[in-house]
Amino acid sequence: MSEEIILRAEQSRAEQSRAEQSKDLYAIDVMKYIMAFCVIAIHTTPLKGIDNNIIYILYEAAVSIAVPFFFLSTGYLIGRKIQNKKEFDDVLVERQQKKVIRYYVIWTIVYLPLTILGFYKAGDGFVKSFVQFIRNVFFQGENYYSWPLWYLLSAVYGLTILKLLVESQKETKKFNFYSIIIFFCVFMHFATDYIVNLNTTNNVVVTFSLLVEKTIRKGRIFSGVYYILLGNLIAKSEYHIGRIYLLAIFIASYLIVAFTSFLPIKMIMCITFFLLVISVKATGNGIYFRRTSTIMYYTHMIVFFVLNITVNKEMYGWVGFAFCCIVTNILAYVLNTGKFKNCKLLRTLFGPMAT
């Protein structure tokens, strides 16, 4: 009996700790919800047809913060959990890694009918389509209409690297090694995009460029590694930068990114924005924002596909953007309330409705 009482007391303290931590991270949950709209905007191009170049480049710079914010949040939250729990670091990282892998497999299966349709439209035949599917799943993270899933694949790679660092304990004993991995992945991101977009007639360079494009396609697959590691470092470090300075750095870097798209400056923009968000000491239960952003992220391309099929036209622009935002939010409201919120299938697809 005494052991049962002790166990219940420990569970109660754990639940209270999770609730307190959730309140501390309320600003992140709210911003995830806002960033889900940015992801939808990236895939539906609401400013299609806008001729004002200034507005367009400012918009592009703004929405480009979305995916890095999700990566930084992942690394930061893992770092927070490591600090607040008594479990081994590698256990926490491995648990998160397995969860992301599970989501990636599940949603790859959910999008499989659209994937098959895409290969059918391309008319490449079964063997070539199958090889491309395997390549896309392991190296690019996306297939026909499943553009958002690359985030999960990149996160898997990022968490794998973090797990290796934690297991070897090099993240605490050799900070420079941690930094070297971040620098290497940033370099690979930049180099890959440069090589793929390089305009040259040199046969060797052209062949290498095609090889890169046919495998990983874009350097963004490396971004999950360095942003997750940076988020983890932010959680473990004690920085003392005032909001005014952070805001000034963010605005300056944002304007530079808008007009140059220089990757290191974009990283500064995304990191300072994230630091500004976590500096907001808002309190509340952010689970509804968190779950809604998850539903929006995973389902908006399915909604967009249904819209395009229904009207027999690709609805890029404000109409497609607004439709996806409204429908996914209605869907989230239905799934997050009443009898559906604790459905086992929905927990498998979108996570639990609990802190």
Q: Is the pLDDT of residue 355 over 70?
A: no
187/13 Cα distance (integer angstroms):
44
**Structure-token pair, residue 34:** 């806002």
* 256 belongs to a structural domain: no
As given in the structure block, the two tokens for residue 292 are 């809604």
- Residues with Cβ within 8 Å of residue 211, at least 6 apart in sequence: none
Asked if the structure places residue 4 within a domain, the reply is no
**Residues 123 and 151 occupy one common structural domain:** yes
Q: Which of 237, 271, 306 is the last residue in one of the domains? A: 237
Closest Cα partner for 225 from 257, 194, 276, 188?
A: 188
- Same domain? 138 vs 71: yes
What DSSP assignment string belongs to 116-161? Answer: HHHHHHHT--HHHHHHHHHHIIIII---TT-GGGHHHHHHHHHHHH
Structural domain contains residue 16: no
Q: What proportion of the chain, given as a percentage, has pLDDT over 70?
A: 88
257 located within any domain: no
Residues 132, 213, single domain; the answer is yes
My answer on whether 34 and 115 are in the same domain is no
In this prediction, residue 46 carries a pLDDT of: 96
pTM strictly above 0.95: no
Kindly report, residue by residue over 248-281, the tens digit of the pLDDT: 999 999 999 999 988 999 999 999 999 999 998 8
Q: What percent of the chain has pLDDT over 90?
A: 61
pLDDT in tens, 27-78: 999 999 999 999 999 999 999 988 889 999 999 999 999 999 999 999 999 9
Last residue of a domain, one of 208, 237, 266: 237
Type of residue numbered 91: V
Classify residue 228: in a domain, yes or no.
yes
Say whether both 52 and 122 belong to one domain.
Answer: no
- Total tally of structural domains belonging to the chain: 2
Is 6 part of any domain? no
Considering the domain architecture, whether residues 25 and 99 belong to the same structural domain is answered as no
Asked if 92 and 228 sit in the same domain, the reply is yes
Measured between alpha carbons, how far is 291 from 324 in angstroms, rounded to an integer? 16
Tokens 């990191």 sit at which residue?
Answer: 271
Same domain, 207 and 109: yes
Same domain, 50 and 88: no
Is residue 228 within 8 Å of residue 155, measured between CB atoms? yes
Amino acid at 54: I
Shared-domain flag, residues 194 and 339: no
Give the pLDDT band (50/70/90) at residue 97.
very high
Domain annotation covers residue 113: yes
Rg over CA atoms, the chain:
21
Last residue within a domain, chosen from 237, 261, 295: 237
pLDDT of residue 1: 47
Structural domain harbouring 85: 67-237
Are residues 25 and 75 located together in one domain of the fold?
A: no
- Reported confidence tier of residue 84, pLDDT bands at 50, 70, 90: low
Please report whether residue 253 resides in a domain: no
Please indicate, yes or no, whether residues 37 and 84 belong to a single structural domain of this protein.
no
Q: What is the DSSP secondary-structure string of 139-150?
A: II---TT-GGGH
